[in-house]
Amino acid sequence: MSIADALRESPGADRGAVAGRAAVLSSPGGVFSIEEITLQKPRRDEILVRVAGVGVCHTDVVCRGDFPVPLPIVLGHEGAGVVEAVGAGVTRLRPGDHVVLSFDSCGACPNCARAAPSYCFNFMAANFGGVRPGDGSTPMSRRDGGAVNARFFGQSSFATHLIARERNAVAVPKDAPLDILGPLGCGIQTGAGSILNSLRVGRGDAVAIFGAGAVGLSAVMAARIAEAAHVIVVEPNPERRALALELGATAALDPRSTEDVVAAVKAAGPGGVTHALDTTGIPAVIGSAFQTLLPNGQLGLVGMPPPDAALPVNIMDMLARGVGVKAYVEGDSDPEIFIPQLVGYYLDGRLPFDRLVKRYRLEDINQAFDDTTTGKSIKPVLVI
């Protein structure tokens, strides 16, 4: 479909409405169907974006499955594209700008006020509610007029077009490959941000990263940017271990063939690590990660655990070594600042996240989900 076609006013719709296609999920655990949709024109603080590409993140997989989101819905929260139209109150962006979409936040709570939007008090409503938090409306409808929830992470980017807020869109340089930049808005940002913003890894530090998916491998690249002396990866998949070494890991351990993973991590570093990051959410792995910490070490948690999982940590052990454990959301990123920084790292060759990307067509979204679930694809990106 040409842009001109896509931007034509659809018959019977609001003036300025836009026709497009989207991958709609209508039942929990169901398959996506590509449907003709109509988007309202952007409201005062909103922008209309023609999507160039969108990554598939683990959170999309979880929300297609058990996690309760309102149906029907368009998922997708790693979108990137070109601004086509802006609302009357938009000041930072203009049509033609290239943008990466990130998570949404309210902008009014204490954490938003202190530039920590990933800990927004209203994060759940803004990102998982599926509708505009203010009035419960959605900008998208099916051709029969039925509403489709289309504010997932303020974007719902498994679509040719989307409505986002100016607040969750970040302008990026036009010399970067727009079709694959979307994952900078969540998965890459989470991995790299956990190392650079949350754990604040520095020169000479020793880092252990558990799990080498898109988040873990982004953490590996960031640890090299931070000039960590030891970057130790624990990952059962041999191809991912090999890729981790190519991306800068100093050691890559197979937990399935290593009898004592904790001892092996300690041996690969200076008797332990200053920082550990768990991307798996597996309680036993988190327990091992905790044991690898040197005194005053820090363990970050970013993996999605089973709903009833508890921390397998001995409190006296924690006190004796003075170690910390904290969950991090979106790598403590303020996307407006951090995403351009990540694009800069990519352009100067220090964050080659394109090595993780496999491209799919929007029509092949169900295959992309299968491939990320089975581990065949580290970071699927639907190129629109």
Q: Which two tokens stand for residue 120?
A: 């927004």
Nearer to Zn ion, 55 or 72 (CB): 55
Choose one: 49-57, 154-162, 250-258, 291-299; the region binding Zn ion (CB under 5 A): 49-57
Residues that bind Zn ion (rule: CB under 5 A) add up to a total of 8
State yes or no: residue 125 binds Zn ion (CB under 5 A).
no
State yes or no: residue 112 binds Zn ion (CB under 5 A).
yes
Choose one: 16-24, 58-66, 91-99, 272-280; the region binding Zn ion (CB under 5 A): 58-66
Minimum gap (Å) between residue 294 Cβ and Zn ion: 30
Please give the radius of gyration of the chain, using alpha carbons only, rounded to the nearest integer.
Answer: 21
* Residues 146, 358: Cα–Cα separation, whole Å: 33
Nearer to Zn ion, 112 or 220 (CB): 112
* Residues 208, 226: Cα–Cα separation, whole Å: 14
Site map (CB under 5 A) of Zn ion, residues 305-344, x = contact: ----------------------------------------
What CA–CA distances, in Å, run from 182 to 81, 135, 249, 266, 381? 8, 28, 25, 36, 8
Choose one: 142-150, 184-192, 312-320, 342-350; the region binding Zn ion (CB under 5 A): 184-192
Minimum gap (Å) between residue 72 Cβ and Zn ion: 20
Nearer to Zn ion, 105 or 138 (CB): 105
Minimum gap (Å) between residue 326 Cβ and Zn ion: 19
**Per CB under 5 A, which of residues 59..88 are in contact with Zn ion?**
59
Among 13, 109, 242, 383, binds Zn ion (CB under 5 A): 109
Nearer to Zn ion, 19 or 126 (CB): 126
Choose one: 53-61, 229-237, 328-336, 349-357; the region binding Zn ion (CB under 5 A): 53-61
**Per CB under 5 A, which of residues 362..381 are in contact with Zn ion?**
none
State yes or no: residue 105 binds Zn ion (CB under 5 A).
yes
Chain mean position to CA 7: 28
Nearer to Zn ion, 24 or 57 (CB): 57
Minimum gap (Å) between residue 188 Cβ and Zn ion: 10
* Residues 201, 268: Cα–Cα separation, whole Å: 17
Choose one: 35-43, 56-64, 85-93, 329-337; the region binding Zn ion (CB under 5 A): 56-64
Choose one: 120-128, 260-268, 315-323, 341-349; the region binding Zn ion (CB under 5 A): 120-128
Nearer to Zn ion, 97 or 104 (CB): 104
Q: Which two tokens stand for residue 202?
A: 């520095």
Q: Tell me if 94 sits within 8 A of 83, measured CB to CB.
A: yes
Minimum gap (Å) between residue 108 Cβ and Zn ion: 6
Q: Tell me if 212 sits within 8 A of 187, measured CB to CB.
A: no
Among 52, 63, 186, 209, binds Zn ion (CB under 5 A): 186
Nearer to Zn ion, 114 or 355 (CB): 114
Residues that bind Zn ion (CB under 5 A): 57, 59, 105-106, 109, 112, 120, 186
